[in-house]
Copies of this chain bind each other. A is one copy, B any other.
Amino acid sequence: MATVSDIGLSAAINVSMAVAFLLVFAFLRLQPINDRVYFPKWYLRGMRDSPVSSGAAVQKVVNLNMRSYLKFLSWMPAALKMPEDELINHAGLDSAVYLRIYLTGIKIFVPISILASLVLFPVNWTNDTLDSMKVVHSKIDKLSISNIPYGSNRFVTHLVMAYAVTFWTCYVLFREYEIITTMRLRFLASEKRRPDQFTVLVRNIPPDPDESISELVEHFFLVNHPDHYLRHQVVYNANKLADLVEKKKKLQNWLDYYQLKYERNPSKRPTTKEADERQKIMKDPQSAVPAAFVSFRSRWGAAVCAQTQQTSNPTVWITEWAPEPRDVYWNNLSIPFVSLTVRRLIVAVAFFFLNFFYVIPIAFVQSLASLEGIEKALPFLKPLIKIDVIKSFIQGFLPGIALKVFLILLPTILMFMSKFEGLISQSSLERRSASKYYIFLFFNVFLGSIVTGSALDQLKAYIHQSANEIPRTIGVAIPMRATFFITYVMVDGWTGVAGEILRLRALIIFHLKNFFLVKTEKDREEAMDPGSICFDWCEPRIQLYFLLGLVYAVVTPLLLPFILVFFGLAYVVYRHQIINVYNQQYESGAQFWPSVHGRIIIALIVSQLLLIGLLSTKGFEETTPVLVVLPVLTFWFYKYCKNRFEPAFVRNPLQEAMRKDTLERAREPTFDLKAYLANAYLHPVFKGREEEDNMSISEDVGMEEVIVPTKRQSRRNTPAQSKYEGSDTLSLPETVHER
């Protein structure tokens, strides 16, 4: 068990590393040559010019103004200065609400920390259970619940604290949900005209032998939404073309690179191949996917279509609100709708195995990284380990690092899984990956570190335990793992966040590209890699801190200040990054908040269950009913919030739509919506080409807007009964064929 001096050393290492990172950052950011690495957002918004273009040659590269170095932390107040409204304008609502996750952490844990140190520290400290038991323990443990004797009445304090923590957390969560809902609604109301406000994505259009998909869509919506239908855009399976374009881009890059090194060497450019493929897609009816973006005359019409069921067969003509054009994940639009259920099953099973078997390598490495493990595996290191500093280093640092390395590999795999599931927008992909990652962190990092930390086979034992035995086993282990998690918070939370601001990877890549590839200003623009929030793997990691904070709030409140430092530092750092660096690829209007909220609630319930387990081993079982009330109430609170707020994040109120429609019709009665929406939902591959060689994709699209006379009626006298239910537009349902 780590002692106070181990923790102290670890803290010293981490604090000095964090400070070093911040100092290096403060130095680097002042150098004009790095300007595009540390302030790309402003370049992208066109509000900053290259400092390279003015002043003396040396000053283009190095900042010689010595006074600016004195204020090396000046970016911190600068990052905090921008008001939230301006931040929303500058970086979007997603970013602003993302920052509120950190803020929520601060709001929850500041009062809890103060209360816990005022109440629980004296109650825990003034016992001598650990001293009298003569077990190995550190002073940290004396501040924890472990120091209270078996069956003591002092546990009432912890019980009351559990209530206080629950109510305060729920209160903060409720207020935040309320504020963010209002922010979202205000944001949506104040937004300018956007194509997705008028557009609905229709999927699984049933095949029809007589009409093409485009004709079918037109007829269906003209019949069923006669007053509101405006136009539509058929989706093409352009994945192959997109690959070709990508390939061409890469080859072009290499070509440019070699052009610099050698002379012009006309390589086999895939442009012709690409043009062929493009032609093929446009001509071939097979490449039209049974999906379309359908646009309406008004937001009201689109809101109605997105929220209603179109036909009596719920698996065809499925409508959903179209994602923002830049948020669409085009590759998945061509996945046949029927395969989605199977894909979801496959991913669920695969994720189960990933989640379950990933435990083994982590546990293995952790057992290696312990003192005993190293002594066993590498006996020749034995004299080295005996040195106090190295011993502390191994105990305080290595387990955290081992865990960290494993976690770096994961988000990519999870994102691949989510893509395989067939979600059709970037934002939903990120949200889905985030929830997978959270489950992973919960079982493998949180539970894994508590239960397996000591031995792998304990995990197997824990699967075989009863429902009331599991929280007990974990609960008992929790106080003992406090020091491990303190170290983890410092490594991952403090040094990690400070490292984030340095952007070491982006810095190196930018300078390499700048040196080798950049010729024009446009190239330089492309060499910037502003990055984005990375909701899919950043948010679950924040959630881990919520979980640790809530679980340890009553058990070992000493952990709380460490978590608070993380939340504070991360808030400032990410606020700075969002203002100066990150460039969000899409705007979902804070659609992720319900899952953030839900996961904090999960953490709260877990903390309550573990406390019940822990107290039941401390001779305080009779209070279990008093504590069982808490998870029931918390769950009810969750349901209440879900009813109260979640619809605002999922559905589109008609009143708002009507309001904006009316206002807009009064302001711009002559606006040409059809032209505005013409190419909004065209696959970006076509768009790019169009700009280059001005091919007539938009004319093809324009063709569709003419009312196409239905071929079926011209061919036969009576409308043919369609083979697939739902594809015929005006005929009574067929008779039932009973078995």
Residue ranges of A at the interface with B (Cβ–Cβ < 8 Å): 84, 175, 179, 182-183, 185-186, 189-190, 223-225, 227, 303-304, 307-315, 317, 341, 345, 349, 463-469, 632, 636, 639-640, 643-648, 651-656, 658-659, 662, 726, 729-733, 735-736, 738-739
Contacts and interface: CB of A to CB of B under 8 A. Distances in A.
B659 A186 contact: no
A301 B379 CA distance: 80
A571 B412 CA distance: 56
A643 B341 CA distance: 9
B651 A314 contact: yes
Contact of A655 (B224, B227, B643, B656): B224
Nearest to A633: B345
B224 A736 contact: no
Contacts of A179: 736, 738-739
Contact of A307 (B183, B307, B647): B307
B312 A224 contact: no
A648 B736 contact: no
Contacts of A182: 733, 736
5 contacts: A224-B655, A304-B304, A308-B654, A466-B467, A659-B732
Contacts of A632: 349
B467 A653 contact: no
A225 B655 CA distance: 9
A658 B223 contact: yes
A662 B464 contact: no
Contacts of A315: 643-644
A653 B309 CA distance: 5
Contacts of A304: 304, 308
A308 B730 CA distance: 24
Contacts of A466: 463-467, 469
Nearest to A662: B730
Contacts of A729: 655
Contacts of A309: 307, 647, 651-654
Contacts of A640: 341
Nearest to A730: B659
Contacts of A303: 308
Contacts of A645: 314
Given A309-B653, A463-B466, 20 more contacts: A179-B739, A182-B736, A224-B655, A308-B308, A308-B651, A308-B654, A309-B647, A309-B652, A310-B654, A311-B654, A311-B655, A314-B646, A314-B648, A314-B653, A315-B643, A345-B636, A463-B467, A464-B466, A464-B468, A659-B730
Nearest to A223: B658
A315 B643 CA distance: 8
A447 B572 CA distance: 56
A357 B470 CA distance: 25
Given A304-B304, A309-B654, A314-B648, A185 B733 contact: yes
Contacts of A312: 185, 648, 653, 655-656
Nearest to A307: B308
Contacts of A726: 655
A636 B352 CA distance: 15
Contacts of A736: 179, 182-183, 186
Given A341-B643, A345-B636, A469-B466, A224 B314 contact: no
Contacts of A735: 186
B732 A311 contact: no
Contacts of A648: 312-314
A312 B341 CA distance: 32
A502 to B, nearest CB: 32
A310 B655 CA distance: 6
Nearest to A180: B736
A338 to B, nearest CB: 10
Contacts of A311: 653-656
A219 to B, nearest CB: 12
Contact of A224 (B227, B308, B639, B654): B654
A189 B469 contact: no
Nearest to A315: B644
Nearest to A636: B345
Contacts of A465: 466
A655 B656 CA distance: 25
A348 to B, nearest CB: 8
Contacts of A643: 314-315, 341
Contacts of A655: 224, 310-312, 317, 726, 729
A474 to B, nearest CB: 14
Nearest to A629: B349
A733 B224 contact: no
A636 B340 CA distance: 12
A158 B640 CA distance: 46
A636 to B, nearest CB: 5
A313 B643 CA distance: 10
A739 B314 contact: no
Given A644-B315, A648-B314, A655-B224, A189 B733 contact: yes
A70 to B, nearest CB: 35
Contacts of A654: 224-225, 308-311
A119 to B, nearest CB: 25
A372 B701 CA distance: 85
Nearest to A189: B733
A735 B662 CA distance: 20
Contacts of A730: 659, 662
Contacts of A224: 654-655, 658
The 7 closest A-B pairs by CB, nearest first: A314-B647, A466-B466, A309-B651, A182-B736, A311-B655, A307-B308, A185-B312
A463 B466 CA distance: 8
A643 B651 CA distance: 19
A304 B224 CA distance: 12
A287 to B, nearest CB: 27
A613 to B, nearest CB: 13
A454 to B, nearest CB: 20
Contacts of A310: 653-655
A595 to B, nearest CB: 17
A314 B640 CA distance: 12
Nearest to A731: B659
Contacts of A644: 314-315
A372 to B, nearest CB: 30
A647 B730 CA distance: 21
